[in-house]
Structure 1
Amino acid sequence: MPVSFTAIDFETANSSPASACSVGLVKVVDGRVVEREHRYIRPPFPHDDFAYWNVRIHGITRDMVADAGGWEVHLPFLREFAGDDWLVAHNAGFDMGVIVKTTEVHGLPVPDFRYLCSLQVARRTYHLESYRLPSAAMAAGFEDFSHHDALADAEACAAIVVHAAKRHEADDLARLAHVTRVRVGAIGTVASAAAAAADGPMALQ
């Protein structure tokens, strides 16, 4: 079934959720990818150390982001790219935490987004030994991508949700969340509204 959303993935410079150094965005409309974007991000001080293990995982170094814009540049772009879409991410709590913490460090208002975790959707859709992104993506027919490349990971996440929606015959993310019993999350002021309506169809993750 056709679903529409924006998939997102971040890489961070270190263990701080405010150290985003790369973001991948994939816009899905009616079940098809219509736009892709990858951007490097210059992490803010004092969250700008590039830890050895993080660099080893994603290959992004301080020099690669030296001329990149900070989050104050990328946040408006994220809002424009996603529009009114729900966001989707694999282990979404991490990626939403990056948005929240990085935005707060810059003293900016946290954007309003509802979101769905593709990891949780995968757990309720496939029978796998591992639900890490490469395994879940393979179950959805999306293989041979560069894991820990933010754009490739966002595309893999999008593929999981599109495939799961078809499998569950869900034509939007609200329906997919309902049939898989995955809670819908929210950030920004919409999070407060969702919390107040926790007894209704939307509950915070």
Structure 2
Amino acid sequence: MDFTAIDFETANPSSASACSIGLVKVRDGVVVDRLHRYIRPPFPHDEFSEWNVRVHGITRGMVADAAGWAELLPAFREFAGDDVLVAHNAGFDMRVIEKTSEAVGVEVPNHRSLCSLQVARRTYHLESYRLPVAAMAAGFKDFSHHDALADAEACAAIVVHAARRHEADDLDRLAHVTRVAFGAVGRTAATARAAAHGPMALQ
């Protein structure tokens, strides 16, 4: 059960406005490393909306001296390696990677992804599958929601707990049992996914 859990916070509704990232590395179902960084969003995606600030508490001043995504990308690549990226509502986080990379003119990293929200829906019977509720079902409680690192840890806890429930030894088995399809980000990963799910794959 090896993967990297990821969470972004954004400055505004633009997917290219990443202002914080949390990463949690899991090996054999155990958290072995963590990384949190503030990110200076690229122009013209650098306005901090009142709504987003109210949600996560990050302001323009807090990221004024932070590195931009292009500067942080080597650290991200070193941390995540070739891991599957796991996120709650993974489509959002993969779009942030894609759009922020495009906005600063760097190659989009290539990763498969798995959505812990969809895994939770196929694992627990809850009134809501929002991250705090699903995390509580997994035994991960009292964390600071919308703190990128805390959210990534909660996401990791959900996937590890769900894997135990489904007696899955790795993410491929968990995805198979829960019937949750892998996503992808980056040209190579997206091409591979399209090939795997294209007409030839159905013959």
Aligned to 1:63: 61
Distance 1:197 1:147 in 2: 35
Q: Does 1:143 align with 2:126?
A: no
Give the drift of 1:193: 1.4
Q: What secondary structure, in the 3-state scheme, does the structure 2 residue paired with 1:197 have? A: helix
Unaligned runs of 5+ in 2: none
Give the drift of 1:199: 5.5
Unaligned runs of 5+ in 1: none
Distance 1:179 1:159 in 2: 18
Q: Does 1:157 align with 2:194?
A: no
Distance 1:72 1:108 in 2: 7
Q: Does 1:101 align with 2:90?
A: no
**Which of 8, 16, 19 is the aligned partner of 2:14?**
16
Q: Which amino acid aligns with 2:21?
A: V
Aligned to 1:194: 193
Q: Does 1:179 align with 2:177?
A: yes
Query: TM-score normalised to the size of structure 2?
Result: 0.96
Matched pairs, number: 199
Distance 1:160 1:140 in 2: 5
Give the drift of 1:92: 0.3
Aligned to 2:5: 7
Q: Does 1:120 align with 2:121?
A: no
Q: Which amino acid aligns with 2:138?
A: A
Distance 1:35 1:28 in 2: 7
Q: What secondary structure, in the 3-state scheme, does the structure 2 residue paired with 1:44 have? A: coil
Q: Which runs of 4+ in 1 moved over 3 A?
A: none
Q: What secondary structure, in the 3-state scheme, does the structure 1 residue paired with 2:75 have? A: helix
**Which of 26, 33, 36 is the aligned partner of 1:35?**
33
> Percent sequence identity over matched residues?
77
Give the drift of 1:120: 0.1
Distance 2:143 2:184 in 1: 29
Q: Which amino acid aligns with 1:13?
A: A
Q: Which amino acid aligns with 2:184?
A: A
Give the drift of 1:76: 1.6
Deviation digits for residues 151-185 of structure 1, max 9, x if unmatched? 00000000000000000011111110000000001
Distance 2:174 2:198 in 1: 18
Distance 1:103 1:84 in 2: 18
Q: Which moved more, 1:115-124 or 1:100-109?
A: 100-109
Query: TM-score normalised to the size of structure 1?
Result: 0.95
